[in-house]
């Protein structure tokens, strides 16, 4: 299973792609860089490229990672800006699912499969 946590002030959600091999079939878009800082050490940085949320993510967060389908990876990696601009949009709603999980996900000492187990939502 492949997914990510989405946290806000009141809840925690786990968002994943449908399908057993979903992780191999999509790409989250990241930019990374290494910088030499004044003291001579190397600082490695990363940013997640985001877009506005689709209907699955909208109730959870005001943005979501850009997800690029495999058939567009080559364009994303080597295309001209005009060509890749169209790829920074909403990922297909019917290929994502989300469910509430425990707020334990925000505690670094907790790292177990129980973190992604669905939690009952209380009204």
Which CATH class, in words, describes the domain spanning 3-116? alpha beta
Domain boundaries, the chain: 3-116
Q: What is the pLDDT of residue 83?
A: 83
Asked if the model's pLDDT at residue 111 lies above 80, the reply is: yes
Which of 63, 94, 89 is closest to 76 using CA atoms? 89
Q: Within its chain, how far is the Cα of 53 from the centroid?
A: 11
Q: What pLDDT is attached to residue 119?
A: 79
Question: Residue 1 pLDDT > 50, yes or no?
Answer: no
Residue 18: per-residue pLDDT: 52
Question: What CA–CA distance (Å, rounded) separates 18 from 3?
Answer: 10
Q: What is the pLDDT of residue 58?
A: 87
Is the pTM value of this prediction over 0.85?
no
Query: Residues near 68 by Cβ (< 8 Å), separated by ≥ 6?
Result: 26, 27, 29, 76, 87
Please report the pLDDT score of residue 28 as a whole number: 61
**Could you tell me which of 17, 101, 13, 102 has the C-alpha nearest to residue 60?**
13
Q: Is 80 helix (H, G, I), strand (E, B) or coil?
A: coil
Mean pLDDT of the chain: 77
Q: Which of 30, 17, 32, 33 is nearest to 66 (CA)?
A: 30
Terminal-to-terminal C-alpha distance of the chain: 28
Q: What is the pLDDT of residues 49-94, one digit of tens each?
A: 888 888 888 888 888 888 887 888 888 888 888 888 888 877 777 7
């Amino acid at each position: 299973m492949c997914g990510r946590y989405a946290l806000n002030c009141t809840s925690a959600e786990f968002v994943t792609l449908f399908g057993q091999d979903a992780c191999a079939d999509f790409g989250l878009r990241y930019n990374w860089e290494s910088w030499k800082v004044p003291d001579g050490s190397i600082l490695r940085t990363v940013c997640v490229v985001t877009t506005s949320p689709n209907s699955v993510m909208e109730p959870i967060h005001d943005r979501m990672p850009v997800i690029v389908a495999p058939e567009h990876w080559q364009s994303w990696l080597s295309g001209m800006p005009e060509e890749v601009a169209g790829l920074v949009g909403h990922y297909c709603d019917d290929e994502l699912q989300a469910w509430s999980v425990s707020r334990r996900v925000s505690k670094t000492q907790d790292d177990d499969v129980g973190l992604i187990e669905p939690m009952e939502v209380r009204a």
